[in-house]
Amino acid sequence: MYTETRQPETDCMERYHFACKIAKDKSVLDVACGSGYSTSLFIKAGIRSYDGVDINEKQIAYANYRYASHAYSVERVNYHIGDLCTFNNGKTFDMITCYGVIERIKDYESAIKNLYSLLNYGGVLLISSPNRLVTSPRCSSIDDKPMNEFHTQEFTPKELLSLLNCFGFHVSQEKVFGQHQRRLYSTKLSNKIIQSVCAKLKRRRNSIVTAVRDKVPEHFIIVATKV
């Protein structure tokens, strides 16, 4: 399990703000929680409990110091060292956020299978991925090495939708959301120009998560339900 330290901070925060809109009264598991900065957002959103898990021991130690031992009760907030493919603390959850993780795990099928087992029936999984069509346009399949050296593979929304459905989640195109959405064109030159312009304007672009309709997102978030 990996923290998303290399992703733009504003993008990460907007994904958590998006999750907080549906987090009220839920028990939440935050995968790759890092230093626990999402904790206060979820608490303010009115969740019942928060569990964060990350493979980085130093990050978890800081999270315990900064959040669990100060502002919130231990019974309500807990942090764990663990790997997504095998993590199990004996609990199941109403909502799981899995941001900036699935593209970094070689055994992604085991990761999704474990996410399913950690979720209560009727619970929701919010999972994000860079969109290969935008972030690694030279890659034609999941098996191709992404441009980002820290990524093992990258998905398209259609591929991740299919994978989630195969492992028992209920999800549809209407539950796909995105950030930094743009239009893709049929010619490589047009897309190269658009990508160059977008890269220059990226700091000014809106990171807010919105439904995917007629544009292609740079990063996408799928809201999947266990039924």
Q: Tens of pLDDT along 14-40?
A: 999 999 999 999 999 999 999 999 999
Q: Tens of pLDDT along 96-118?
A: 999 999 999 999 999 999 999 99
- Long-range contacts made by residues 54-57, C-beta under 8 angstroms, separation at least 24? 54/1, 54/3, 54/79, 54/80, 54/81, 54/82, 55/1, 55/2, 55/81, 55/82, 55/83, 56/3, 56/81, 57/81
Residue 1 has pLDDT above 50, yes or no: no
Neighbours of 7 (CB within 10 A): 16
Residue 6 has pLDDT above 50, yes or no: no
Q: Tens of pLDDT along 144-164?
A: 999 999 999 999 999 999 999
C-alpha to C-alpha distance for 164 and 186, rounded to whole angstroms: 29
Please give the pLDDT value at position 67: 87
Domain ranges of the chain: 9-226
Tokens 């047009």 -> residue: 190
Q: Tens of pLDDT along 166-195?
A: 999 999 999 999 999 998 866 554 445 445
Specify the fold of 9-226: Rossmann fold (3.40.50)
